[in-house]
Amino acid sequence: MFNILKKVFKRTDEAIADVAPQKKKKITKEEFEDILLEADVNYELVEKFLEELPAKIERIQAFNTLISVFQYDADWKENITDKPFVEMIIGVNGAGKTTTIAKLAHHHQTKGESVVLGAADTFRAAAIEQLSRWAKKLDVPIIATQQGHDPSAVVFDTIASAKAKNADRVLLDTAGRLHTQTNLGEELKKMVRIADKAMPNAPHRKMLILDGTQGSSSINQAKVFNELIGIDGIIITKLDGTAKGGSVLSIAHELKMPIYFIGTGEQPEDLIQFKANAYVNTILDSIFI
C-alpha cells in the first residue's frame, strides 16, 4: 500500500520538495502552511489546521491534525444485502468514469462476484464502444444500445438482466454531464427513479468520480451533483498525474463523504481502496525525517 501511494503521490512529493527541500524533525507553522498550500489544500482549511498546532510542529502533531479531517460520520452502505447491488457511476466529461467502471468490475471479479455493466451513457457512441471493449476484455456481460436512445431504458434493462442472471453487482455508466446543465441533471434524476422501479432501493450507491488533476476545484462539482441526486461516495482518479495530492484533505473536509478508492493508473488493476492513515503518512513522509 505505502509503496503504491508513494508512486501515486510522487508529483505531490516533488511539489512539497520545492518549498521544503530539507526533511526535518520539526517544522514551523509558516513552513507547514507553505507545504499544504503548495499541495493544493484549501486556504481556509490550512488556517484551521494551523490554529490547532504549536509554533514548532512534530510529525505526530501534524498527523493528528490532518487525520481529524476524516473523522466524520459517513454512511459506507456496508449493510445492504440486496442482490444485485446496483451502483450508478456519475461525473463530468474526462474524469475517467468509463475506465473506473472497468476497474470496479475487475475489483469485484477478484472477490468472486459476478458483474453486469450498463452502458447508460447514450450521449456519445464512443462511450458505448469504450465500455463494450472493456466488457469484452474483462469477460463481463453488458447491456448497451445505440447513441441517442433513452438512457433510463438502459438502466431498467440492465437491472432486469442482472436479476435474471442472479448477478452480484450492477455498474451503470452515465453521460459525462456538466453540472451546470439543468436538462441533463433532470435526466439523471429520471435514471435514479427508473432504477428504483426496476428494483426497489436501487441504485444502492451513487458514486461520483472526481478528477484529481482538478484539485480542490472539483468540490463544487460534487456539491451540485449531491444536491441533484445525493452522492453516496467518491472515487478520485488521476492522482498519479498531479501535484495536487493535498486536495484529498479539502475534498474530505468539504464533502464529508466516504472516499472509497483512488485510481493509480490506466489498467483494470490500478485501483486501490483509500485508507486515510496511509494517505496522511504518505504526505508526512515528504515533510518529516
Q: C-alpha cell of 215?
A: 484539485
Are the C-beta atoms of 276 and 265 separated by less than 8 Å?
no
Mean pLDDT of the chain: 93
Answer whether residue 217 shows pLDDT above 90: no
Are the C-beta atoms of 250 and 42 separated by less than 8 Å?
yes
Mean pLDDT value of segment 261-277? 93
- If one counts every other C-beta atom within 10 angstroms of the C-beta of residue 82, the result is 11
Percent of the chain topping pLDDT 90 = 78
**Helix, coil or strand: residue 187:** helix
CA distances, 184 to each of 46, 58, 59, 187, 253 (Å): 35, 49, 46, 5, 28
What pLDDT, on a 0 to 100 scale, did the predictor assign at position 93?
A: 82
Answer whether residue 274 shows pLDDT above 90: yes
**pLDDT tens digits for range 140-197:** 999 999 998 999 999 999 999 999 999 999 999 998 866 566 777 888 999 999 999 9
What pLDDT, on a 0 to 100 scale, did the predictor assign at position 253?
A: 95
Q: Is 196 exposed, middle or buried (0-12, 13-18, 19+ CB in 10 A)?
A: middle
Q: What share of the chain is helix, strand, coil (3-state, %, to 5)?
A: 50, 15, 35
What pLDDT, on a 0 to 100 scale, did the predictor assign at position 183?
A: 78
What pLDDT, on a 0 to 100 scale, did the predictor assign at position 156?
A: 98
8-state DSSP, 289: -
Answer whether residue 208 shows pLDDT above 70: yes
CA dihedral of 267, 118, 226, 187, whole degrees rounded to 10: 140
* Chain centre distance of CA 213: 12
Q: C-alpha cell of 283?
A: 504526505
Q: For residues 203 and 174, give the distance between their C-alpha atoms in angstroms, rounded to a whole number.
A: 13
Mean pLDDT value of segment 108-123? 96
**pLDDT tens digits for range 81-107:** 999 999 999 998 889 999 999 999 999
What pLDDT, on a 0 to 100 scale, did the predictor assign at position 236?
A: 96
pTM of the model: 0.94
Q: Which segments of 69-216 does DSSP mark as H helices, in order?
A: 97-110, 125-138, 151-165, 182-198
Domains of the chain in sequence order: 2-70 (no CATH), 85-274 (3.40.50.300)
Answer whether residue 20 shows pLDDT above 70: yes
Are the C-beta atoms of 128 and 147 separated by less than 8 Å?
yes
Could you tell me the pLDDT band of residue 2, with boundaries at 50, 70 and 90?
A: low
Mean pLDDT value of segment 262-278? 93
Integer distance in angstroms from the first to the last C-alpha of the chain? Answer: 20
Answer whether residue 272 shows pLDDT above 90: yes
Q: For residues 106 and 138, give the distance between their C-alpha atoms in angstroms, rounded to a whole number.
A: 7
Mean pLDDT value of segment 227-254? 93
What pLDDT, on a 0 to 100 scale, did the predictor assign at position 1?
A: 62
Answer whether residue 257 shows pLDDT above 70: yes
Q: C-alpha cell of 148?
A: 441517442
What pLDDT, on a 0 to 100 scale, did the predictor assign at position 7?
A: 87
**Helix, coil or strand: residue 235:** strand
What pLDDT, on a 0 to 100 scale, did the predictor assign at position 277?
A: 96
Strands 169-173 and 85-90 turn out to be parallel
What pLDDT, on a 0 to 100 scale, did the predictor assign at position 107?
A: 97
What pLDDT, on a 0 to 100 scale, did the predictor assign at position 179?
A: 58
Q: For residues 279 and 246, give the distance between their C-alpha atoms in angstroms, rounded to a whole number.
A: 10
Q: For residues 251 and 63, give the distance between their C-alpha atoms in angstroms, rounded to a whole number.
A: 17
